[in-house]
């Protein structure tokens, strides 16, 4: 199975830094990809177009970190899926826990975003994941079900591919990752949920949250995880390269 890496650069690099990174590393990264895996870079909105031009003749794909839930109109500060399509974005992250937390995004809004992306043939990467409290109090699967339901429904209705990134919010940027046992249980739960309610859905499962060259070793044993959403570990090319070489 061809693995995928989504490099979520959040707001960690300025546009100029992101451009320099791509100019410096695109050839080597492209060689590493060699038709055996997929990699998408998700820089800030303002750098997307220029980075798209830099990686144009490579196998590196362009991804956005978010999009507007509406098609067009009076939505100051928002960026439409249509605009993302115009600059050849292949992927777009929706429902990242930082957006759920800081922008108060609801599952309804996230599902609307996914719908806009499907309309424009951009593959959404839906982030789901429980908080530490939900993990401890057994509320985890209820949370995952809520976070999945509406967006998976949209993918099912549109008959489009969906990436589901399981990212416990307590694992993001913390250096902690779930145990392999717990990951197996969660992956199984998601697979059963989809089979039960959305049989035939075209989806892939990713894992995100403190993935680096050491933590990934155990996670690679969970074979149904088809890729990784990397934050911190995708910023430095040498670190990213070490991870890519393990896949």
For residues 189 and 183, what is the distance between their CA atoms, to the nearest angstrom?
A: 10
Residue 173 lies near ligand PGA (rule: CB under 6 A): yes
Residue 178 lies near ligand PGA (rule: CB under 6 A): no
Q: Which of 71, 86, 96, 146 is catalytic?
A: 96
Nearer to ligand PGA, 176 or 191 (CB): 176
Span of 131-139, 151-159, 194-202, 230-238 interacting with ligand PGA by CB under 6 A? 230-238
Span of 26-34, 114-122, 185-193, 225-233 interacting with ligand PGA by CB under 6 A? 225-233
For residues 38 and 2, what is the distance between their CA atoms, to the nearest angstrom?
A: 7
Q: Which of 28, 146, 167, 223 is catalytic?
A: 167
Among 4, 172, 205, 240, binds ligand PGA (CB under 6 A): 172
And the tokens for 47? Answer: 């750098």
Span of 63-71, 103-111, 167-175, 198-206 interacting with ligand PGA by CB under 6 A? 167-175
Span of 34-42, 118-126, 144-152, 227-235 interacting with ligand PGA by CB under 6 A? 227-235
Answer yes or no: 96 catalytic: yes
For residues 166 and 6, what is the distance between their CA atoms, to the nearest angstrom?
A: 13
Among 5, 229, 240, 244, binds ligand PGA (CB under 6 A): 229
For residues 66 and 76, what is the distance between their CA atoms, to the nearest angstrom?
A: 15
C-beta of 170: minimal distance to ligand PGA in Å?
10
And the tokens for 97? Answer: 């826990």
Count residues contacting ligand PGA (CB under 6 A)? 13
Residue burial 68-105, b: 16+ Cβ < 10 Å; e: rest? bbeeeeeeeeebbbebbbeeebbbbbbbbbbbbeeeeb
Answer yes or no: 130 catalytic: no
Residue 99 CA, chain-centre distance (Å), reads 13
Among 52, 63, 168, 208, binds ligand PGA (CB under 6 A): 208
Interface map 96-135 toward ligand PGA (x if CB under 6 A)? ----------------------------------------
Nearer to ligand PGA, 42 or 68 (CB): 42
Partner residues linked to 81 by β-bridges: none
For residues 227 and 38, what is the distance between their CA atoms, to the nearest angstrom?
A: 9
CB 227 within 8 A of CB 188: no
Q: How many CB atoms lie within 10 A of CB 11?
A: 9
Q: What is the dihedral of CA 65, 183, 215, 232, to 10 degrees?
A: 10
Residues that bind ligand PGA (CB under 6 A): 8, 167, 172-173, 208-211, 229-233
The catalytic residue positions are 96, 167
């Amino acid at each position: 199975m061809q693995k995928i890496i989504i490099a979520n650069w959040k707001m960690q690099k300025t546009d100029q830094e992101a451009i320099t990174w791509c100019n410096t590393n695109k050839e080597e990264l492209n060689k590493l990809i060699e038709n055996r895996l997929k990699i998408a870079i998700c820089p800030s909105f303002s750098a997307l177009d220029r980075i798209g031009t830099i990686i144009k003749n490579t196998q590196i794909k362009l991804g956005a970190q978010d999009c507007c839930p509406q098609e067009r109109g009076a939505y100051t500060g928002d960026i439409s899926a249509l605009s993302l399509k115009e600059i050849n974005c292949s992927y777009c992250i929706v429902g990242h826990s930082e957006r759920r937390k800081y922008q108060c995004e609801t599952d309804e809004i996230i599902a609307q975003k996914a719908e806009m992306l499907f309309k424009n043939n951009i593959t959404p990467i839906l982030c789901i994941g429980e908080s530490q409290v939900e993990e401890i109090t057994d509320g985890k699967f209820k949370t995952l079900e809520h976070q999945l339901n509406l967006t998976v429904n949209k993918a099912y209705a549109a008959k489009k591919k969906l990436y589901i990134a399981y990212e416990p919010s307590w694992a993001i940027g913390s250096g902690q990752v779930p145990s392999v046992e717990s990951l197996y249980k969660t992956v199984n739960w998601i697979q059963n949920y989809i089979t039960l309610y959305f049989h035939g859905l075209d989806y892939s499962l990713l894992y995100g949250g403190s993935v680096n060259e050491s933590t990934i070793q155990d996670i690679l044993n969970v074979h149904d995880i088809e890729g990784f959403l990397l934050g911190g570990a995708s910023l430095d090319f040498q670190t990213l390269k070490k991870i890519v070489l393990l896949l």
